[in-house]
Structure 1
Amino acid sequence: MKNLFLLAAVGSLAACQQSEPAPEPAPTEDVTAVALAADGAPTPGQYRVTRADGTVVMEDVREDGTYSTTVDGEVTETGRWEQKDAATYCYTSDAEGSSQICNTEEIDEDGVWRSTNPDGETSVVERVDS
């Protein structure tokens, strides 16, 4: 009888004990990778590009993945860009039949930002204030 009473008491205590609620998952931050250009800053921005032939163009590289190129204030090209890594900037013109072109980019020992297209033509790039 003592054993039966003891067993009933333990069972009652076990039934009264509430289990602890499962811990809530830790909040996660929505971290979106920011593409970095050859100069170590985020890619979107305004650039002055001096092409191999001496032509100076302005490029507006936007956060939404689009860009526009202007010469003497007139838009000459629009398209989409992708920064695959700090040394690889790719773009696709909106012109019909265009395919992606990737330039290799580097900051040389003199601090000059150079961008070389697949044909081996090298432009000098300068980030400018917008």
Structure 2
Amino acid sequence: MKQYLTLAGCLALAACGSNEAEDAAAAPADVTVATPAPDTVTPAAMAGTYEVTLPDGTVTMQTLSADGTYEDRIDGEISERGTWRQQGDQLCYKPEGDAATEQCYAGGEPGPDGAFEIRDDAGDVNATVRKVEAQPAA
């Protein structure tokens, strides 16, 4: 059932800025501070509740918290908890437990309804994901 973690790469994350060092002497005296592009995704912006539908029809409600934790629920019951983090254009999940391994995923472009597909390394669809309003805890 680890596949329901596929929300992981749900958003296409934008890189902003350059890693190249600039020569301080070459910098102009009047410096304008760049504002991040509107599609730059932060943990706070990614936080929320998502409906994750697997190919077999199983629906998981996944809540990402801005503090880097997540919780999955199936039929209102907690099925998994753990931590998440952003790594480039992917989201990586590590379930609770000593034997748990981290898994990273990337997502596709959102459709007109905001839903998008998550694909595995082979290009197969793992899930369809859409952001929803938070559901009250059961």
> TM-score with structure 2 length normalisation?
0.58
Match of 1:57 in 2: 60
Cα RMSD (Å) of the superposition? 2.3
Match of 1:94 in 2: 96
Describe the shift of the 1:77–1:106 C-alpha distance in structure 2 as closer, same or farther (beyond 3 A): same
Rg larger for? 1
Q: Are 1:128 and 2:121 matched, yes or no? A: no
Aligned-residue sequence identity (percent) comes to 29
Residue correspondences, number:
92
Match of 1:46 in 2: 49
8 Å CA contact 2:55, 2:127 repeated in 1: yes
Describe the shift of the 1:93–1:121 C-alpha distance in structure 2 as closer, same or farther (beyond 3 A): farther
Match of 1:36 in 2: 41
Alignment deviations for residues 49-90 of structure 1 (CA, whole Å, 9 cap, x no partner): 0012210000010011000000000000000001223x3111
List gaps (5 residues or longer) in structure 2: 1-39
Distance in 2, Cα, partners of 1:80 & 1:117: 20
Q: Which has the higher contact order (CA 8 A, sep 6+)?
A: 2
List gaps (5 residues or longer) in structure 1: 1-34
Distance in 2, Cα, partners of 1:58 & 1:107: 20
Equivalent position amino acid for 1:88 in 2: Q
Equivalent position amino acid for 2:41 in 1: L
Equivalent position amino acid for 1:104 in 2: A
Distance in 1, Cα, partners of 2:91 & 2:121: 11
Pick aligned residue for 2:105 from 103, 106, 123: 103
Equivalent position amino acid for 1:72 in 2: D
Equivalent position amino acid for 1:106 in 2: G
4+ residue runs over 6 A deviation = none
